[in-house]
Structure 1
Amino acid sequence: MHSLTLNSDNRAEIAAALAGDRWIVACLCAAWCGTCASYRATFDEVASRHPDKFFVWIDIEDHADIVGDLDVENFPTLLIQHHELVAFFGTMLPDAGLAHRLVLAQSEQSDAELAELARNSEERRRWQADCNLRTLMRNAQA
């Protein structure tokens, strides 16, 4: 399965997928960003290598009601999450091999290991509080 693009017609479908057990890999981008446009095919390629995970493409300007408060410093930015634990949030070089290895490395960790990493890192504690895509989507739908 390739990635889905969040749009006004599939918000309920995306919210339901985010609430499931699968790992979430979100690419946060902007329509005007040339790097993002060229990265889309790479993101889909990585998604095809991880059919057990849910890949979603989110334009941060079109969906500011969901992700507008996230501190996206550069594009593309990846958000990787399992259940309520944000495993990664940061800018990603537009390289399929690197993204694939990042997704593998994060998904090999258990929830207990991710929780331990979050407890021991100020940056990761902020990710839990600010970047939880499930929470952001629930709040936008409320």
Structure 2
Amino acid sequence: MQSLTLDSTNRDDVASAMQGDALTVACLCAAWCGTCSTYRATFEELAMRHPDKTFVWIDIEDQSDIVGDLDVDNFPTLLVQRGDTVAFFGTVLPDGAVAERLVQAQAAQAPDEMARWASSSEERRGWQRDCNLRALLAA
């Protein structure tokens, strides 16, 4: 499966693809960012290796009404969630092997383990409150 690209015409489709408990991996980038342009192919390859997961490419400027309040410090920023549990939100090296390890590690966690991890620090509790992509799409 190739990744979905969030735009103003397919928000319902992306929200529908995120239903259930499959892992969602979203990359938050910007069209003007050279690193993001290069990383896009890496993200697409990762999506093809993990057809059981939903991959979403989000341009933070074009979709600012959805993700504008998220604290994106640098690019690429990945958001990984299962259901309504945000497992990871942060900048990663633009390296396919790093993203692969991140996806595998999150996929290996049992839902109850992921939920415990998600509430284990103030930062992670903040992710639950602010970074839940399903909630942002529904708002």
Q: TM-score range by the shorter chain?
A: over 0.9
Q: TM-score, normalised on structure 2?
A: 0.96
Question: What is the rounded CA distance, in whole Å, between the counterparts of 2:120 and 2:62 in structure 1?
Answer: 34
In 1, the alpha carbon distance for the partners of 2:87 and 2:119 equals 12
Question: Which residue in 1 is equivalent to 2:106?
Answer: 106
Aligned AA for 2:130?
D
- Partners of 1:25 and 1:116 in 2: how far apart? 19
- The separation in 2 between residues aligned to 1:63 and 1:132, in whole angstroms, is 15
Aligned to 1:20: 20
Could you report, residue by residue, the CA deviation over 1:6-45 in whole angstroms, capped at 9, with x for unpaired residues? 1122122111112233210000001111100000000001
Moved more, 20-29 or 84-93: 20-29
Could you tell me how far 1:122 is from its partner in structure 2? 1.4
C-alpha separation between the residues in 2 aligned to 1:4 and 1:120?
Answer: 31
Percent of pairs with identical residues: 65
Which residue in 2 is equivalent to 1:125? 125
**1:4 match:** 4
SS across alignment from 2:118:
helix
Once the two structures are TM-superposed, the CA of residue 110 in structure 1 deviates from its matched residue by 1.3
Any residues of structure 2 matched to 1:1-142 within 5 Å, and which?
1-139=1-139
TM-score (norm 1): 0.94
Deviating above 2 A after TM superposition, structure 1's stretches of 4 or more consecutive aligned residues are: none
Which amino acid in structure 2 is aligned with residue 88 of structure 1?
Answer: F
Q: 2:31 is aligned with what amino acid?
A: A
Distance 1:59 1:92 in 2: 16
Q: RMSD of the alignment, in Å?
A: 0.9
